[in-house]
Amino acid sequence: MQIQTKFLGEVDIQEEEIIVFEDGIPGLEEYRQFVILSLGEEMPFSVLQSLEEAQIGFILADPFKIKQDYAFDLPDNEKESLAIVTPTEVITQVVVSVKEPFEQSTINLLAPIIINVNNRKAKQIILQDNLKFPIRYPLYALEGSAK
């Protein structure tokens, strides 16, 4: 199926690539179907693109490649809502706030996006008990393999 995107123009996706946020994303609850689009093999970033509104797209990053000590416990109720059985079926991404110049860009470590790769359910969760990670962590402070 062809979709129009915010950053990449028109792209072709497969139905099995669609990710469903059953409750929407905080602040955008009415949009529930998204797809993750690669920005290239060598790029540590991807795009979370809404299928319902072409102008809704977010740059994502793998937080573990940027902040080596990033870790959190996913609450049991969140595991249940996403039907997560094992950690191997989970992908964690964080939203990148792109700034000009790019060196001033940040990532949101306080509200990761959790995706169950088996059932394609996703949710952005707010880490209530883990305030050691900020909502605006500087991207230029790369510590992980993306450095």
For residue 146, tell me if it sits in a domain.
Answer: no
Cα(95)–Cα(114) distance, integer angstroms:
11
- Does the pLDDT at position 145 exceed 90? no
| Domain range enclosing 38 | 2-141
- Does the pLDDT at position 130 exceed 60? no
Number of domains in the chain: 1
The reported pLDDT for the residue numbered 141 is: 65
Mean pLDDT of the chain: 91
- Does the pLDDT at position 35 exceed 90? yes
Residue range 24-44: mean pLDDT, rounded: 93
For residue 37, tell me if it sits in a domain.
Answer: yes
The domain that contains 104 carries what CATH number? 2.30.290.10
pTM for the complete prediction? 0.90
The reported pLDDT for the residue numbered 147 is: 43
